Amino acid sequence: MNLDDLRTEAERRLDPVHRDFFAGGAGDERTLRANETAFDAYRILPRVLRGGGARDLRITLFGDELALPVLASPTAFHRLAHPDGELACARAVAAAGTVMVVSMAATTPIEAVAAATDAERRRARLWFQLYPQPDLGFTESVIRRAEAAGCQALVVTGDSPVFGWRERDLRNGFLDLPSGLWCENMRDPQTGTVRNIVMDDRLDWARIDWLREITRLPVVLKGVLHPADARLAVEHGVDAVLVSNHGGRQLDGVPASIDALPAVVDAVEGRVPVLLDGGVRRGTDILTALAFGAVAVGVGRPVVWGLAARGEAGVRQVFDWLRADLARAMTLAGAVRPADLTPDLILPGAAG
């Protein structure tokens, strides 16, 4: 019926500690809640009698065509949600014709994720999420693995100079992956051991410049909320900006992603694509973000819900349902293509 059905099923199946890990946010979880409720405060002013027949949801990103303007945002530890983990997710996303942003904290190596979709002759579209590590050599080795596996972009997380204060995990004592699961993309090429991901409080724009020197992959900067940072990102040659608050998991009290989007779009002035994740649950949420100028949105928790509830089939359901719901919303709003969604379709308004 809607994604809440999968959420409910997933929460029933998950170990409560893991459920809290996926569901929780930082501090009082104000931003976590705001991500979802903020969409409700906007009102859509639909256009009528615009005809157009079947909708065309395709968009182009970095020269590549996606079947719909919805990506799988990076989420950690898929094998906590389902034994098939990232493989199931990658197959479902490939079938949906869109992009999976594979997490640096994946519990499956990037090479295996890539192979899972190649093997079935679906066209894999993988981007790789990176926490740049203080050890530059190791960071470079991880990027080389991602490149070799065929990843098509680097998504650099900028909002995590330290871990967020996630009280659910602290109360639950959830600190480590259970036995047998590892962050496989952190495996040291020399020693074969798995390193811990370091949150680097020295990370700065110079590291972005360095990344752009050592790789030809497009760089997406994830975690931008302040328009001044969006301008800096463009000046530093970033190829896309992802408006995100890390699912409300880093600094509680920051705006809902959708509330931060318009000022970032203004600051970017069309020079690079703007993406958004955070609280996207309905076709109308996607429509709102696109009308404000996002090229595509990411979904994080819904992918985990699908995965936890039904593995690959569940993730397929997530994208199938969002595709249908977006097509319906666009039809009812009089838009044939994503490009028809313009800011005049959105009104600020009281939450209903």
| CA–CA distance, 130 with 39 (Å, rounded to integer) | 28
| Residue among 8, 16, 52, 119 that touches a second copy (CB under 8 A) | 52
Instruction: Tell me the per-residue interface mask from 53 to 92 with a second copy, x by CB under 8 A, - otherwise.
Output: xx--------------------------------------
Is the Cβ of residue 223 or residue 302 nearer to a second copy in the bound state?
A: 223
Nearest to 184 by CA among 114, 107, 92: 107
Nearest to 73 by CA among 327, 290, 275: 275
Is the Cβ of residue 30 or residue 122 nearer to a second copy in the bound state?
A: 30
Instruction: Tell me the per-residue interface mask from 209 to 248 with a second copy, x by CB under 8 A, - otherwise.
Output: ------------x-xxxx-xx--x----------------
Is the Cβ of residue 265 or residue 307 nearer to a second copy in the bound state?
A: 265
- The residues facing 332 across adjacent strands are none
The least distance separating a second copy from the CB of residue 155, rounded to whole angstroms, comes to 14
- The residues facing 70 across adjacent strands are 297
- The residues facing 220 across adjacent strands are 155, 240
Is the Cβ of residue 339 or residue 351 nearer to a second copy in the bound state?
A: 351
User: Which residues between 148 and 187 bind a second copy (CB under 8 A)?
Assistant: 158-159, 161-162, 164-165, 167, 170-171
Those residues whose C-beta lies under 8 Å from the C-beta of residue 286, and which sit 6 or more positions away, are 69, 70, 280, 297, 322, 326, 329
Decide: is 2 part of the binding site for a second copy (CB under 8 A). Answer: yes
| CA–CA distance, 187 with 288 (Å, rounded to integer) | 40
| Residue among 87, 260, 299, 309 that touches a second copy (CB under 8 A) | 260
Which are the catalytic amino acids?
Answer: 246
| Residue among 43, 122, 187, 271 that touches a second copy (CB under 8 A) | 43
The tokens for 59 are 């968009």
Decide: is 198 part of the binding site for a second copy (CB under 8 A). Answer: no
- What spatial distance separates the first Cα and last Cα of the chain, rounded to whole Å? 21
